[in-house]
Amino acid sequence: MKPIRLAINGRSIETSVEPRQHLADFVREELLLTGTHLGCEHGVCGACTVLIDGAPARACIAFPVALDGASITTVEGLADDPVAARLREAFMEEHGLQCGFCTPGMLIMARDIVLRLPGADDATIRHELAGNLCRCTGYIGIIRAIRTVAAERAAAGEEAVATRCSAVAPPLHISPLTLPVANLLAAARENIAEPASPPTAAAAFMPEPLRNPVEMVQEFEVPAGRPDVLSLFQDPARVIACLPGARLVEPSDGRTLNAEMVVKLGPIQAAFGGRAVISADPAHWTGTIDGQGVDRRSATRVQARLVYVLDEVEGGAATRVRVNVAYVLQGPLAQMSRGALARDLAARLTGAFAANLAAGLRGEAAPLQAAPLNAGALMFAVVADWLKRLFRKR
């Protein structure tokens, strides 16, 4: 048993947990909060959805032992929440429930959707809700109820709420991120002109604007001068070669790329196919990569924007690369885990990218390119790190 501290529905608790006990069993059996339902216990159906640090997550694949210090909200914790109250009314008005088994998870996800996306249309709601299954198949009423509340919030001028908090990831190298760096990246975003008209029909890809992205900032150094690094960032084939599990599916025209990236999540293998466009502002040593893709099997969509700024270090012999990654994940894979774990995984992906980038600039083969990104293995590494930290504290 390991001692942990949690805030559950606003109440602080200190208790001890078995490392193998998942969060859904913990809230149901130890705290008698039985509004959290269990369907598949594999992270697939969404019946067990709760909020962890404000973001929806699957309680059946989250473990209290790894959540020390987190804030958990179950459906009971939304009893007095005005948005959830309006959604409950709308579900009743629109016949959004039949047996009610999926309803706690649906309500938690619905609240997240209307907060983040006021005025969301049916297609957006369907994508956002793709990770919640209703065995009574009453989706039409559920979607109508969510659309109604989202439209009311838009009509009332409610601002979108960022429920999936942005984060500054720990730097891979050198000092912690400081505010001037964030300002520098913001300025870089403004300096980079939106792409001019595409040079070919094949390149007629314009990324959609990101709505409420999760953002993270990273920095690392590579042993090469800025011109070499900038030229690598402007070469789609070399950028793709630095991403584990990624490949170009057709030759790039030098500005847009059509690519696929395979990610393994334990037994699940997701293959995100999509397009990206590369822009640069060489005068300011900055650039962007905008992309969007979909995993057709799970219908999970991802949109991402990477902004980088290059600084000379060691008298120009090396380059410090500062990157801001903003992404939006929609669909079943979006709720697989705690947001902090997803951010750690994104940080580790950036680490693999940096290692491959450095190798590429030295003229060596990318060391982490051979296998697809195994998020499952990375997840174990992340959890292992957390457990080590936990044990160090005792």
Q: By CB under 6 A, tell whether 244 contacts ligand FES.
A: no
Q: Which of 8, 27, 47, 349 binds ligand FES (CB under 6 A)?
A: 47
Number of residues that bind ligand FES (CB under 6 A): 22
Question: Which of 24, 262 has the CB closer to ligand FES?
Answer: 24
Q: By CB under 6 A, tell whether 97 contacts ligand FES.
A: yes
Question: Which of 44, 210 has the CB closer to ligand FES?
Answer: 44
Q: Which of 7, 136, 154, 167 binds ligand FES (CB under 6 A)?
A: 136
Rounded CA-CA distance 101/85 in Å is: 18
- The window from 46-54, 66-74, 184-192, 366-374 that contacts ligand FES (CB under 6 A) reads 46-54
For the chain, the maximum distance between any two Cα atoms, rounded to a whole number of angstroms, is 68
Q: By CB under 6 A, tell whether 70 contacts ligand FES.
A: no
Question: Which of 21, 279 has the CB closer to ligand FES?
Answer: 21
Checking DSSP bridges between strand 373-374 and strand 256-265, what pairing results, if any? parallel
C-beta atoms surrounding 269 within 10 Å: 15
Question: Which of 98, 269 has the CB closer to ligand FES?
Answer: 98
In sequence order, which residues have a C-beta less than 8 Å from that of residue 12 and are 6 or more positions away?
Answer: 5, 6
Question: Which of 140, 377 has the CB closer to ligand FES?
Answer: 140
| CA 349 to each of CA 10, 189, 244, 368: distance values in angstroms, whole numbers, following the listed order | 34, 22, 8, 10
Task: Spell out the alpha helix ranges (H) of 55-195.
Answer: 82-93, 103-116, 122-128, 139-155, 179-191
Q: By CB under 6 A, tell whether 39 contacts ligand FES.
A: yes
CA-nearest of 200, 225, 222 to 315 is 225
Measured torsion, CA atoms of residues 189, 191, 192, 195, in degrees rounded to the nearest 10 = 120
Q: By CB under 6 A, tell whether 72 contacts ligand FES.
A: no
Please report how close the Cβ of residue 226 comes to ligand FES at its closest, in angstroms: 47
The residue length of the chain stands at 394
Rounded CA-CA distance 131/141 in Å is: 17
Rounded CA-CA distance 261/247 in Å is: 6
List residues bridging with 294 in a β-sheet. Answer: 273, 301
Question: Which of 98, 166 has the CB closer to ligand FES?
Answer: 98
Q: Which of 60, 62, 257, 325 binds ligand FES (CB under 6 A)?
A: 60
Q: By CB under 6 A, tell whether 107 contacts ligand FES.
A: no
Which residues of this chain interact with ligand FES, rule CB under 6 A? 38-41, 43-48, 58, 60, 97-102, 134-136, 138
